[in-house]
Chain A
Amino acid sequence: METLAQEIGIPEEEYREITQRLGREPNRVELFLFKVMWSEHCAYKNSRPLLKQLPKEGEAVLQGPGENAGVVRIGEGWAVAFKIESHNHPSAVEPFQGAATGVGGIIRDIMSMGARPIALLDSLRFGPLGDARSRYLLKGVVSGIAHYGNAIGVPTVGGDLYFHEGYRENPLVNAMCLGLLREEHLRRSQASLGRPIYYAGAKTGRDGIGGAAFASRELSEDKEEDRPAVQVGDPFLGKLLMEATLEAIEKDLVEGVQDMGAAGLTSSLSELAFKSGLGVELDLDRVPTRERNMGPIELLLSESQERMVLVPKEGRERELEEVFRKWGLDCVPVARTIPERVFRVLFRGEVVAEVPTEALAEAPTYVRIGREDPEIRRLREMPLPPLAANPQEILPQLLASPNLASREAIYERYDHQVGTRTTLVPGKGDAAVLWVKGTHLGIATKVDQNPRYSRLHPRLGAMHALAEACRNVSVVGAKPLAYTDGLNLGSPETPEGYFELQETLAGLREASEALGVPVVSGNVSLYNESGGRRIPPTAMVGVVGVLDIRRRAEMGFRRPGEVILLLGEEKGELGGSEVLYLLSGLEAGHPPRLDLEQEKRVQEAIRELIALGLTRTAHDLAEGGLLAALAEMTFPYGLGATVEVRTRGSEPPSGHLALLFGEAPSRILFTVDKEHLKETTFRLEEMGLPYRVLGETGGHTLTVLTPDGVLEWEVEELLAAWKRPLREVLDGQA
């Protein structure tokens, strides 16, 4: 058995641990159970000790980490379940199915909580857009998301997308889903003693066997060899399963729900039992199959999609079966909870595995020594070269750079309105806003992360990710309630990789505490590296907030003659910025400093101004700085603006460029009617926050007065430059 353990990649010390926990040698089937359950993907072996540090408590939290998704209260008896999950490795091998099944999987996590999925977001990272392979992956992933999301009828309302050298070999595809539920419908992964456990949905095949383990090792050079480990999704079946499951919950027929995701039956049943403090006896002969002669290991590890586990309430078994019959789906008892805390598996009448549930669920954890990559430190501390360029030419180029360019060509492929809840469609606001019909409640959500900041300074980068996602949610008028984190990093087994993991979590903790926003769910995807090259540490942070739907802000200038104000400091830094990369090809320098206390106050201020009805137009300053943000505000309604930018005290030419295009957090542009200007500035002064009146909306140009002269662009011309790059790739033959 020890030889087999070695062959399937179980480290020697873990094999010894297994024999110790069992008090004997494991048999072949048991060894595979440990293999998948102790994979990084399922067991968080390297991240668990670090994840413990994150704040998880909050007034709004109904369910924190540890379940299929986190849940927050939003008021009037309503709650939102949400979570982000990675599907990186499958998407690298087969982008269409990888992304599609990623979407399907996260939707099932949300419905496991008793929530109706109402929105999807996708956080995507690829290598440079100039690479043929990056374009192939981008197109495949976008098609896969559209294929699944559109058909199952859950709108894709937002996300974020970056192109960066560091993702060339390891693209990232993380999908986030939000579900809406009444508090009393909240369900968890649990069962009482002696209950039958039902298997519902698609039949089991040989697809995706070992997917969880596959996700936890470095991609091999020859990716095509990994194809059999990629699952295939069927959104039609997913839709039927979703409706049937939600109907069963609505009719109060089930006490516990669990989706069958990574590591299939093994993970869903052993975890359900473990969380319930019980054991489970699974009879593999009852599992519906669509292939012949499947062995116990195949049945236990299959990651066939569109399957759920349900525990009926006592006496409601027949009704449960009836609901699934109506939807044309299998729903059969395959297991039963038992008092002995073991995962017992029967195959052809014989016990083929019997393992304590605790031994499977509580994998050994590792605490390692991290050390910063000296190359990263060198880049961060490197003095930046002087930049000289004509701002008149920079703005259109910056807007057309892949990380700033319009995402319209992508989000047009997604149904972003099905469900009639989408209040702010993509392109209209900094965050998506969904309406809880029948109330005045709105849910705002956004996912953010900047790979350049995170690569140069993992801790600060993670802080920026949470701060920016919260800022985007605040800018539409919503109070951030909680977040989900999709942690994507390289191997923790190198000191440099472990350092980045440590620092990322330290940054999240610091920002989380300072901003008062807890984590309620998340996902960890490690080993995103090939040939020794790690991806930039990528903590994708998805924030959910709540607002009064009647008081919300969009990003676009709508009415001429409104006053434009900048809330926050008039500054901009070049370290890690897009403009630095555009002009020098460098990703270097210290990323912008972040004062979390100031960040919090700026966010509170903009929420207050929106809630008071003083502003209906607000936009956060991000990549590309002040001028890019102003240009973005002219796009939705094609209305221009004239502003004055001061460059006093800054060293030309780099200093001027930093003011115009440099990046810094805690800054928001917004507009007010002239008659509200006095009240607005009075309130900002009362709060002690810096601000400046920049100019006025109107016309069809963006006009910027600087001490060095006048910069002016036709809005149409900037808009065309901004829209072109991704249009060409998505709609053309590029």
Chain B
Amino acid sequence: MKWAIIRFPGSNCDEDARFALEKAGLKAEYVWHTETSLKGFDGAFLPGGFSYGDYLRAGALAAKSPVMEEVRRFAHEGRPVIGVCNGFQVLTEAGILPGALLANLNLHFTCKEVGVRVERNDLPFTRLYQKRQVLRLPIAHAEGRYYADAETLARLEGEGLVVFRYAPLKGETDYNPNGSLHDIAGITNERGNVLGMMPHPERAVDEVLGGTDGLPLFLGLLEEVTG
């Protein structure tokens, strides 16, 4: 299975995404944002960073890049698409996932480890986790407060499209780091082939980096093909 890591000008977690995908035994190649074809790839990964310097709005300019038409096609055809951090912001700006990511309630960039609860494990991305398992994952963003109107939220909840939710690691009450509605940290589409999340699973794939809770997400992608 070969993954395209989409590089926008200003992407900066591209190497980290490649490291995680390859660590899980997947092939990965960088694809420049001006490309108009993702032929030969099986999945698309939109990495974190500051595409276009986050100018205008985080993800807004990247969402208009030529390559996004292909990402949209992948989403429609049921191929796996993952957007992490800035990648999630790009997916919402492109309308591939619903809602928006607003400025954190504390109004500043926040980098720390948080608790993230797995809400469903019937997706390729989460099949190797236990349902309701709380993962330790790093966040690093200034605009990560998930927001959607009441109707959209009701639909997300009703259809079980919330994949990850912020949760306490050891009973703390201020576990939601950015003020996301319904503690939402990651969502999927109706078909379950597109994942957008603010925490960085690719930063937690090796003991040397202080944690491995992100690795099963990538290993799960491998199992889907071979298993």
Residue A483 lies at the interface, judged by CB distance under 8 Å to chain B: no
Residue of B nearest to A426 (CB): B111
Q: Report how far A348 CA is from B99 CA in the complex, Å.
A: 56
Instruction: Identify B9's interface contact among A240, A412, A422, A435, CB under 8 A.
Output: A240
Q: Report how far A414 CA is from B206 CA in the complex, Å.
A: 21
Instruction: Identify B15's interface contact among A143, A151, A419, CB under 8 A.
Output: A419
A305 to chain B, nearest CB (A): 14
Q: Report how far A422 CA is from B202 CA in the complex, Å.
A: 13
Residue B78 lies at the interface, judged by CB distance under 8 Å to chain A: no
- Those of A383-420 within 8 Å (CB) of chain B: 411-420
Residue B212 lies at the interface, judged by CB distance under 8 Å to chain A: no
Residues of A contacting B19 in the complex (Cβ-Cβ under 8 angstroms): 420, 437
B170 to chain A, nearest CB (A): 9
Residue A136 lies at the interface, judged by CB distance under 8 Å to chain B: no
Are B110 and A422 in contact (CB-based, < 8 A)? no
Instruction: Identify B111's interface contact among A152, A235, A413, A420, CB under 8 A.
Output: A413
Residues of A contacting B39 in the complex (Cβ-Cβ under 8 angstroms): none
Residues of B contacting A240 in the complex (Cβ-Cβ under 8 angstroms): 9-10
Residues of B contacting A236 in the complex (Cβ-Cβ under 8 angstroms): 9-10, 50, 52-53, 55
Residue A327 lies at the interface, judged by CB distance under 8 Å to chain B: yes
Are B210 and A423 in contact (CB-based, < 8 A)? yes
Q: Report how far A328 CA is from B65 CA in the complex, Å.
A: 14
Instruction: Identify B140's interface contact among A235, A415, A549, CB under 8 A.
Output: A415
Known contacts A236-B10, A236-B50; A413/B208 CB under 8 A: no
Residue B117 lies at the interface, judged by CB distance under 8 Å to chain A: no
- Those of A78-112 within 8 Å (CB) of chain B: none
Known contacts A413-B109, A418-B13; A423/B140 CB under 8 A: no
Residue A224 lies at the interface, judged by CB distance under 8 Å to chain B: no
Instruction: Identify B209's interface contact among A143, A327, A328, A423, CB under 8 A.
Output: A423
- Among A150, A414, A422, A435, chain B packs the most CB atoms within 10 A around the CB of A150
Residues of B contacting A239 in the complex (Cβ-Cβ under 8 angstroms): 9-10, 12, 50, 53
Residue of A nearest to B9 (CB): A240
Are B140 and A413 in contact (CB-based, < 8 A)? no
Instruction: Identify A418's interface contact among B16, B53, B106, CB under 8 A.
Output: B16
Q: Report how far A422 CA is from B200 CA in the complex, Å.
A: 14
Residue B155 lies at the interface, judged by CB distance under 8 Å to chain A: no
Residues of B contacting A414 in the complex (Cβ-Cβ under 8 angstroms): 109, 111
Residue A570 lies at the interface, judged by CB distance under 8 Å to chain B: no
Residue B145 lies at the interface, judged by CB distance under 8 Å to chain A: no
A726 to chain B, nearest CB (A): 14
- Those of B122-141 within 8 Å (CB) of chain A: 138, 140
- Those of A105-153 within 8 Å (CB) of chain B: 143, 146, 150-153
Taken residue by residue from 153 to 175, chain A's Cβ proximity to chain B (1 for < 8 Å, 0 otherwise) reads as 10000000000000000000000
Residue B54 lies at the interface, judged by CB distance under 8 Å to chain A: yes
Residue B165 lies at the interface, judged by CB distance under 8 Å to chain A: no
A550 to chain B, nearest CB (A): 8
Residue of B nearest to A151 (CB): B50
Residue A731 lies at the interface, judged by CB distance under 8 Å to chain B: yes
A44 to chain B, nearest CB (A): 35
Taken residue by residue from 24 to 67, chain B's Cβ proximity to chain A (1 for < 8 Å, 0 otherwise) reads as 00000000100000000000000011101111000000000000
Instruction: Identify A417's interface contact among B49, B106, B110, B138, CB under 8 A.
Output: B138
Residue of B nearest to A242 (CB): B12
Are A413 and B108 in contact (CB-based, < 8 A)? yes
Residues of A contacting B52 in the complex (Cβ-Cβ under 8 angstroms): 236
Q: Report how far A237 CA is from B16 CA in the complex, Å.
A: 21
Residue of A nearest to B177 (CB): A412
Residues of A contacting B50 in the complex (Cβ-Cβ under 8 angstroms): 150-151, 153, 235-236, 239
B112 to chain A, nearest CB (A): 5
- Those of A32-81 within 8 Å (CB) of chain B: none
Residue A234 lies at the interface, judged by CB distance under 8 Å to chain B: yes
Residue A425 lies at the interface, judged by CB distance under 8 Å to chain B: yes
Q: Report how far A301 CA is from B224 CA in the complex, Å.
A: 59
Are A420 and B202 in contact (CB-based, < 8 A)? yes
Are A151 and B140 in contact (CB-based, < 8 A)? no
Q: Report how far A328 CA is from B52 CA in the complex, Å.
A: 12
Residues of B contacting A143 in the complex (Cβ-Cβ under 8 angstroms): 108
Residues of B contacting A428 in the complex (Cβ-Cβ under 8 angstroms): 210
A546 to chain B, nearest CB (A): 15
A548 to chain B, nearest CB (A): 11
Residues of A contacting B200 in the complex (Cβ-Cβ under 8 angstroms): 417
Instruction: Identify B106's interface contact among A151, A327, A731, CB under 8 A.
Output: A731
Residues of B contacting A152 in the complex (Cβ-Cβ under 8 angstroms): 12
Residues of B contacting A153 in the complex (Cβ-Cβ under 8 angstroms): 12-13, 49-50
Are A151 and B53 in contact (CB-based, < 8 A)? yes
Known contacts A151-B10, A151-B53, A153-B49; A425/B208 CB under 8 A: no
B27 to chain A, nearest CB (A): 17
Are A412 and B111 in contact (CB-based, < 8 A)? yes
Known contacts A236-B10, A239-B50, A731-B106; A419/B208 CB under 8 A: no
Are A420 and B49 in contact (CB-based, < 8 A)? no
- Among A326, A412, A418, A437, chain B packs the most CB atoms within 10 A around the CB of A418
Are A417 and B108 in contact (CB-based, < 8 A)? no
Q: Report how far A414 CA is from B20 CA in the complex, Å.
A: 22
Q: Report how far A636 CA is from B16 CA in the complex, Å.
A: 26
Residues of B contacting A418 in the complex (Cβ-Cβ under 8 angstroms): 12-13, 16, 48, 140
Known contacts A151-B53, A236-B55; A420/B15 CB under 8 A: yes
Are A420 and B203 in contact (CB-based, < 8 A)? yes
Residues of B contacting A412 in the complex (Cβ-Cβ under 8 angstroms): 110-112
Residues of B contacting A416 in the complex (Cβ-Cβ under 8 angstroms): 111
Instruction: Identify B203's interface contact among A328, A417, A435, CB under 8 A.
Output: A417
A686 to chain B, nearest CB (A): 32
Are A327 and B9 in contact (CB-based, < 8 A)? yes
Are A413 and B110 in contact (CB-based, < 8 A)? yes
A554 to chain B, nearest CB (A): 10
Taken residue by residue from 4 to 25, chain B's Cβ proximity to chain A (1 for < 8 Å, 0 otherwise) reads as 0000011011011001100000
- Among A151, A327, A428, chain B packs the most CB atoms within 10 A around the CB of A151
- Among B12, B32, B200, chain A packs the most CB atoms within 10 A around the CB of B12
Q: Report how far A104 CA is from B50 CA in the complex, Å.
A: 16
- Among B111, B200, B209, B210, chain A packs the most CB atoms within 10 A around the CB of B111
B47 to chain A, nearest CB (A): 10
Residues of A contacting B209 in the complex (Cβ-Cβ under 8 angstroms): 417, 420, 422-423, 435
B49 to chain A, nearest CB (A): 6
Residues of A contacting B9 in the complex (Cβ-Cβ under 8 angstroms): 236, 239-240, 327-328
Q: Report how far A550 CA is from B159 CA in the complex, Å.
A: 45
Residue of B nearest to A152 (CB): B12
- Those of B70-115 within 8 Å (CB) of chain A: 106, 108-112
Are B15 and A415 in contact (CB-based, < 8 A)? no
Q: Report how far A234 CA is from B55 CA in the complex, Å.
A: 11
Residues of B contacting A417 in the complex (Cβ-Cβ under 8 angstroms): 111, 138, 140, 200, 203, 209
Residue of B nearest to A550 (CB): B208
Residue of A nearest to B11 (CB): A153
Residues of B contacting A435 in the complex (Cβ-Cβ under 8 angstroms): 208-209
B227 to chain A, nearest CB (A): 27
Q: A150-B50, A153-B50, A413-B110 are in contact. List 11 more A-B contacts (CB 8 A).
A: A151-B10, A151-B12, A151-B53, A152-B12, A235-B50, A414-B111, A417-B200, A418-B16, A419-B15, A423-B208, A731-B106
Instruction: Give residues in A with beta carbon < 8 Å to B.
Output: 143, 146, 150-153, 234-237, 239-240, 326-328, 411-420, 422-423, 425, 428, 435, 437, 549, 731
Instruction: Give residues in B with beta carbon < 8 Å to A.
Output: 9-10, 12-13, 15-16, 19-20, 32, 48-50, 52-55, 106, 108-112, 138, 140, 142, 200, 202-203, 205-206, 208-210
Sampled A-B contacts (10; CB under 8 Å): A234-B53, A236-B10, A412-B110, A412-B111, A413-B108, A415-B109, A416-B111, A418-B12, A419-B15, A420-B202
5 smallest CB-CB distances across A and B, nearest first, come from: A153-B12, A236-B53, A151-B50, A420-B16, A415-B140
